[in-house]
Chains A and B, each alone.
Chain A
Amino acid sequence: MTQANRLKGGQIDRDTTLNFTFNGRNMQGHPGDTLASALLANGQRLVGRSFKYHRPRGILTAGSEEPNALVQLRTGAHLEPNTRATMAELYDGLTATSQNHRGSLEFDLMAVADLLSPFLSAGFYYKTFMWPKSFWEKVYEPAIRKSAGLGSLSMLEDPDIYDKGFLHCDLLIIGAGPAGLSAALTAGRAGARVILADEDFATGGRLNAETMDVDGMAGADWAAQVVAELNTMDNVHLMTRTTVYGAYDHGIYGALERCTDHLATSGGKPRQILWRIYSRRAVLAAGATERPIAFGNNDRPGIMLAGAVRTYVNRFGVTPGHELAVFTNNDDGWRSAADLAAKGVSVKAIIDTRDAPAVMDVPGARHIRNAAVVNTVGRKGLRSITLTDDQVIDVDCLAVSGGWSPNLHLTCHQRGRPVWDEGLCAFVPGRDLPPGMAVAGAANGAMTLATALSEGRDMANAQIKELGFKASRKAAPKAEDEPQECAAFWHVRQSKSRAWLDLQNDVTVKDVKQSYREGFRSVEHLKRYTTLGMATDQGKTANIPALAIMAECTGKSIPETGTTIFRPPYTPIPLGALGGRARGKDFRPTRLTPSHEWAKNNGATFVEVGNWLRAQWFARPGEQGWRDSVDREVVMTRRSVGICDVTTLGKIDIQGRDAAEFLNKVYANAFGKLAVGKVRYGLMLREDGICYDDGTAARLSDNHFVMTTTTANAVLVFRRLEFARQCLWPDMDVHLISTTDGWAQFAVAGPNARNLLRKIVDANHDISNEAFPFMACGEISVCGGTPARLFRISFSGELAYEVAVPARYGNAMMGVLMQAGKEFDAVPYGTEALGVMRIEKGHAAGNELNGQTTALNLGLGGMVSKKKDSIGSILSERPEMNREDAIRLVGFQPVNKADKLTAGAHFINRGDAANMANDQGWMTSVAYSPNLGHSIGLGFIKQGHTRKGEIVRAVSPIHGTEVEVEIVPAHFIDPEGERLRV
Chain B
Amino acid sequence: MIINHPLLGPRDAAEFVYLGDACLIDRPDWQAEDAAGKFHEYGYLRDNPAGLHQELWYHEQGDRSWLVVTRDTLTHAISKVELARDVARARGRGS
Interface residues, chain A, with chain B CB atoms under 8 Å away: 248-252, 278, 414, 435, 658, 661, 687-688, 715, 719, 722-723, 726-733, 869, 873-875, 877-878
Asked if B93 and A728 sit within 8 Å, CB to CB, the answer is yes
Of all chain B residues, the one with the shortest Cβ separation from A866 is B30
* Interface residue? B56 (CB, 8 A): yes
Contacts of B27 in A (CB 8 A): 687, 728
The answer for the CA separation of A278 and B13 in the assembled complex, in Å, is 12
Enumerate the 9 nearest inter-chain pairs by beta-carbon distance, A residue then B residue, closest first: A731-B95, A869-B30, A250-B2, A731-B94, A732-B95, A730-B88, A874-B39, A730-B85, A726-B85
Asked if A719 and B39 sit within 8 Å, CB to CB, the answer is no
* Interface residue? B24 (CB, 8 A): yes
User: Within the complex, what minimum Cβ distance (angstroms) separates A433 from chain B?
Assistant: 12
Contacts of A719 in B (CB 8 A): 17, 58, 60
Pick from A688, A723, A733: contact of B66, CB under 8 Å = A723
Asked if A722 and B89 sit within 8 Å, CB to CB, the answer is no
Of all chain A residues, the one with the shortest Cβ separation from B17 is A719
The answer for the CA separation of A414 and B27 in the assembled complex, in Å, is 36
The answer for the CA separation of A28 and B28 in the assembled complex, in Å, is 78
The answer for the CA separation of A719 and B64 in the assembled complex, in Å, is 8
Q: Which of B44-76 contact A (CB under 8 A)?
A: 56, 58, 60, 64-66, 75-76
**Known contacts A658-B95, A719-B58, A728 near B25 by CB under 8 Å:** yes
The answer for the CA separation of A728 and B31 in the assembled complex, in Å, is 16
Asked if A251 and B2 sit within 8 Å, CB to CB, the answer is yes
Pick from B1, B40, B75, B88: contact of A728, CB under 8 Å = B88
Asked if A726 and B89 sit within 8 Å, CB to CB, the answer is no
**Known contacts A874-B39, A875-B39, A729 near B95 by CB under 8 Å:** yes
**Known contacts A723-B58, A727-B25, A874 near B35 by CB under 8 Å:** yes
The answer for the CA separation of A252 and B77 in the assembled complex, in Å, is 13
Contacts of B95 in A (CB 8 A): 658, 661, 729-733
The answer for the CA separation of A731 and B89 in the assembled complex, in Å, is 8
The answer for the CA separation of A435 and B2 in the assembled complex, in Å, is 13
The answer for the CA separation of A874 and B43 in the assembled complex, in Å, is 11
**Known contacts A252-B2, A435-B77, A726-B84, A874 near B36 by CB under 8 Å:** yes
Asked if B43 and A688 sit within 8 Å, CB to CB, the answer is yes
Of all chain A residues, the one with the shortest Cβ separation from B40 is A875
**Known contacts A251-B2, A878-B36, A722 near B64 by CB under 8 Å:** yes
Asked if A726 and B66 sit within 8 Å, CB to CB, the answer is yes
Query: Can you show 7 pairs from A to B with CB atoms below 8 A apart?
Result: A249-B1, A278-B2, A688-B43, A719-B58, A727-B66, A729-B94, A874-B30
Pick from B24, B30, B42: contact of A727, CB under 8 Å = B24
Additional 18 contacts, C-beta under 8 A, given A251-B2, A727-B24, A730-B88: A248-B1, A414-B75, A661-B95, A687-B43, A722-B58, A723-B58, A727-B25, A727-B84, A727-B93, A729-B94, A730-B85, A730-B93, A869-B30, A869-B31, A874-B39, A875-B36, A875-B39, A877-B36
Asked if B77 and A727 sit within 8 Å, CB to CB, the answer is no
Contacts of B60 in A (CB 8 A): 715, 719
Contacts of B76 in A (CB 8 A): 249-250
Of all chain B residues, the one with the shortest Cβ separation from A724 is B27
The answer for the CA separation of A726 and B28 in the assembled complex, in Å, is 16
Contacts of A729 in B (CB 8 A): 93-95
Contacts of A878 in B (CB 8 A): 36
| Size of interface on B: residues with Cβ below 8 Å to A | 34
The answer for the CA separation of A869 and B28 in the assembled complex, in Å, is 11
Of all chain A residues, the one with the shortest Cβ separation from B30 is A869
Binary interface profile of B, 1-26, with partner A (CB < 8 Å = 1, else 0)? 11000000000000001010000110
The answer for the CA separation of A726 and B94 in the assembled complex, in Å, is 10
The answer for the CA separation of A472 and B88 in the assembled complex, in Å, is 48
The answer for the CA separation of A722 and B83 in the assembled complex, in Å, is 13
User: Within the complex, what minimum Cβ distance (angstroms) separates B7 from chain A?
Assistant: 13
Asked if B17 and A727 sit within 8 Å, CB to CB, the answer is no
Contacts of A732 in B (CB 8 A): 95
The answer for the CA separation of A875 and B38 in the assembled complex, in Å, is 10
User: Within the complex, what minimum Cβ distance (angstroms) separates A227 from chain B?
Assistant: 31
Contacts of A875 in B (CB 8 A): 36, 39-40, 43
Pick from B1, B42, B65, B75: contact of A726, CB under 8 Å = B65
Of all chain B residues, the one with the shortest Cβ separation from A434 is B75
**Known contacts A250-B2, A658-B95, A726 near B36 by CB under 8 Å:** no
The answer for the CA separation of A604 and B40 in the assembled complex, in Å, is 49
Contacts of A726 in B (CB 8 A): 65-66, 83-85, 88
Central interface residue in A252, A658, A688, A722, by most chain B CB within 10 Å: A722
Of all chain A residues, the one with the shortest Cβ separation from B66 is A726
Asked if A730 and B43 sit within 8 Å, CB to CB, the answer is no
The answer for the CA separation of A727 and B24 in the assembled complex, in Å, is 8
**Known contacts A873-B30, A874-B30, A727 near B36 by CB under 8 Å:** no
The answer for the CA separation of A249 and B24 in the assembled complex, in Å, is 26
The answer for the CA separation of A248 and B42 in the assembled complex, in Å, is 33
Contacts of A869 in B (CB 8 A): 30-31
The answer for the CA separation of A250 and B88 in the assembled complex, in Å, is 27
The answer for the CA separation of A722 and B64 in the assembled complex, in Å, is 8
Contacts of B58 in A (CB 8 A): 719, 722-723
Central interface residue in B2, B66, B76, by most chain A CB within 10 Å: B66
Of all chain B residues, the one with the shortest Cβ separation from A875 is B39
The answer for the CA separation of A869 and B85 in the assembled complex, in Å, is 20
The answer for the CA separation of A142 and B39 in the assembled complex, in Å, is 54
User: Within the complex, what minimum Cβ distance (angstroms) separates B62 from chain A?
Assistant: 12
Contacts of B56 in A (CB 8 A): 723, 727
The answer for the CA separation of A878 and B2 in the assembled complex, in Å, is 40
Asked if B77 and A723 sit within 8 Å, CB to CB, the answer is no
The answer for the CA separation of A414 and B24 in the assembled complex, in Å, is 29
The answer for the CA separation of A875 and B42 in the assembled complex, in Å, is 10
**Known contacts A727-B88, A728-B93, A873-B30, A722 near B36 by CB under 8 Å:** no
User: Within the complex, what minimum Cβ distance (angstroms) separates B74 from chain A?
Assistant: 9
